[in-house]
Amino acid sequence: MAEKLKQASSRGSGNADRQPAAAGLPLPRHIAIIMDGNGRWAVSRGKGRTAGHRAGIESVKAVLRAALDLGLPELTLYAFSTENWKRPRTEVSFLMRLLRSYLAAQRAKMIRDGVRLGVLGDVAGLPAPVRQELDRTLEATAGGRRLLVNLALNYGSREEIARAARLAAADVAAGRLAPDAITAEELERRLYTAGHPDPDLVIRTAGEMRMSNFLLWQSSYAEFWVTPVLWPDFRREHLEEALADFGRRQRRFGGLPDSDE
């Protein structure tokens, strides 16, 4: 990959002379982040879980600023899973209100910064006020060209794959697709991420070593980077550390490097 990480800007780092930790190394086309640890962050400080979610918004802002400064093309954030509905009703309601307020407050800034918002998941299952705020932001930021930020909302990878299979089955039933033409590529075209590059790098915070039903298909050949840092404490330097580690890895995709042939 010929792309190089850009010099960190004074806006993102507070130091105009600071160089990114991964300067000169390959830049991922797509980074996906499992934002974990909000509740533990709050409990460790004697606060309610909602305080952790509110603090996590500041990490979202910091990561978006760093992604823009470093020239990352695409970022996907695991914001709310299909399993998260099992949480207490008060916490779910708070998360929905927090999402609405974030979108409303950040929409103008996203437009100024050239950020385009995308969404992955069953949006129809979200509360109507959240869908309305999402629609406003999706439309308002459609012209953004610097960074695509996908929010995975009401998202579950197993359901996404099952949905793709149902769509393919419907096309077979309608005579639009032959059964033996159902290939991996055909299913991929029916995923929420159709047209997106697969994530090159998946980051998980809070030290957990699992995927939690996130982009299972798309992450088949992704590199993983896990940090013990809780999401509300995650900042630019942690992202740069992940990028530096990614840049040093040798990706084989099931084959061998040229030197081993």
213 is catalytic: no
Per annotation, catalytic residue among 17, 36, 69, 171? 36
Q: Is 19 helix (H, G, I), strand (E, B) or coil?
A: coil
Of 101, 155, 102, 98, give the one whose Cα is nearest residue 125: 155
User: Going by C-beta distance under 8 Å and a sequence separation of 6 or more, which residues neighbour residue 198?
Assistant: 30, 218, 219, 220, 221, 222
**Tens of pLDDT, residues 132-156:** 999 999 999 999 999 999 999 999 9
Lowest mean pLDDT among 21-25, 52-56, 236-240: 21-25
CATH match of 25-155+197-248 with 3.40.1180.10? yes
pLDDT confidence tier of residue 260, bands split at 50, 70 and 90: low
36 is catalytic: yes
E-assigned strand segments in the chain: 30-34, 74-81, 115-120, 147-155, 201-204, 223-226
**Tens of pLDDT, residues 89-117:** 999 999 999 999 999 999 999 999 999 99
Amino acid, single-letter form, for residue 191:
L
Contact 152, 79 (CB under 8 A): yes
pLDDT confidence tier of residue 254, bands split at 50, 70 and 90: low
Averaged pLDDT, 205-221: 97
How many of the other CB atoms lie within 10 Å of CB of 70?
23
Lowest mean pLDDT among 8-12, 126-130, 218-222, 231-235: 8-12
Mean pLDDT for the chain? 91
Of 259, 241, 240, give the one whose Cα is nearest residue 250: 259
CA 103 to chain centre: 16
Contact 203, 225 (CB under 8 A): yes
Per annotation, catalytic residue among 84, 113, 213, 245? 84
- Report the predicted TM-score, pTM, of the whole model to 2 decimal places: 0.88
Cα 217 to Cα 120, 150, 171, 189, 190, distances in angstroms: 14, 16, 21, 12, 12
